[in-house]
Amino acid sequence: MKSHLLSAADLTHEDALLVLDTAEELARLADRPIKKLPTLRGRTVVNLFFEDSTRTRISFEAAAKRLSADVINFSAKGSSVAKGESLKDTALTLEAMGADAVVVRHHASGAPHRLAHSGWIRGAVVNAGDGTHEHPTQALLDAFTMRRRLNAGPGEHQATVGTDLAGRRVTIVGDVLHSRVARSNVLLLHTLGAEVTLVAPPTLFPVGVDAWPCVTSYDLDGELAKSDVVMMLRVQRERMAPAGGGFFPSAREYSRRYGLDGRRMAMLPDHAIVMHPGPMNRGMEIAAEVADSARSTIVEQVTNGVSVRMAVLYLLLSGASEGESA
């Protein structure tokens, strides 16, 4: 693996399986009464969050603590783009404190890349979501969840070790334009052999999406019957307002054309699962009856997030125990 995790594109097939298999191993910890390993004792992991994200921060924090790392939470919330200089100053501060890994969430696309390549810090950088760019650990936990649900029976998680997602059909629905989750998932799922279809109204596809390793569609109904996985992306209501870009006319129309409700869920094959990275807009992109159904993996995704992030921190930090990044 590379010395940072900035993009899902950084992961080869081999790297991705290593993370997923390691996560599977570490997940067994969660079933024990004492959920802690001494692996990263004495190492410092900083959660550097320039943007609110309680669930992602808590997930990384739990992951680091279960590996016995010291965790520092640094919330620079409220820092506007105009005060961008603070990224550098914050980085220099963290460097001075001796951070071994920096988990960064930032509103600006590329901020983790900047952090990793500007010479401001030496530690490993993990992208925990940057602007409308990427969110690679989300893609890893999604792949982990798919693998568990699709590649083995209930409770047979160990049977998934070493398997990828070859031939699995994944339909990702919603605001692709602004979604870092969609970008990372397309890249990682492609690496793992899955066939990805993106579904959105034309206004919510980025220019150039045709070059991505996936196919696109404007018609959700036409994709459901052949999907092994349907992943619903969060769609912010503000996007319909003129000030928010006017991407669609109303929440009602969006929901009618692209929301996953009971009728659409019934069109899915029996084994298909429904995913959502959270936080959900119930009644907008996903109906409550779908979110709460047996197909929904939404709660599992949260649990799996901790295992996957443990694996990422473990692999990035344990290989470079002499202080120099590999």
Q: What does the binding site for other proteins look like in residue numbers (CB under 8 A)?
A: 81-85, 87-88, 106-111, 113-114, 117-118, 130-134, 180, 183, 206-209, 211-212
Place of tokens 């996957």: 308
CA distances from 237 to 25, 80, 109, 180 (A): 39, 22, 22, 17
User: Smaller CB distance to other proteins: residue 81 or 326?
Assistant: 81
Whole-angstrom Cα distance, residue 138 to residue 118? 25
CA distances from 61 to 67, 84, 132, 217 (A): 10, 25, 23, 37
Whole-angstrom Cα distance, residue 264 to residue 61? 37
Whole-angstrom Cα distance, residue 286 to residue 275? 10
Q: Give least dist CB 165 to other proteins, A.
A: 21
CA distances from 136 to 104, 184, 199, 206 (A): 12, 5, 20, 19
Q: Give least dist CB 52 to other proteins, A.
A: 18
User: Smaller CB distance to other proteins: residue 134 or 223?
Assistant: 134
Q: Give least dist CB 187 to other proteins, A.
A: 9
- What one-character-per-residue DSSP string does 134-149 give? B-HHHHHHHHHHHHHH
Q: Which of 139, 97, 90, 96 is nearest to 112 (CA)?
A: 90
User: Smaller CB distance to other proteins: residue 209 or 215?
Assistant: 209
DSSP 238: G
Token pair listed for 266? 């019934």
- CA torsion angle for 44, 47, 48, 50 (degrees, to 10)? -170
Q: Give least dist CB 18 to other proteins, A.
A: 24
Q: Give least dist CB 51 to other proteins, A.
A: 12
CA distances from 46 to 67, 94, 126, 149, 322 (A): 14, 8, 10, 32, 18
User: Smaller CB distance to other proteins: residue 111 or 230?
Assistant: 111
User: Smaller CB distance to other proteins: residue 144 or 248?
Assistant: 248
Q: Give least dist CB 87 to other proteins, A.
A: 5
Q: Give least dist CB 113 to other proteins, A.
A: 5
Whether a cis peptide bond, with omega within 30° of 0, leads into 279 is yes
Place of tokens 């298909």: 272
User: Smaller CB distance to other proteins: residue 79 or 303?
Assistant: 79
Q: Give least dist CB 132 to other proteins, A.
A: 4
User: Smaller CB distance to other proteins: residue 49 or 314?
Assistant: 49
User: Smaller CB distance to other proteins: residue 29 or 108?
Assistant: 108
Whole-angstrom Cα distance, residue 112 to residue 98? 18
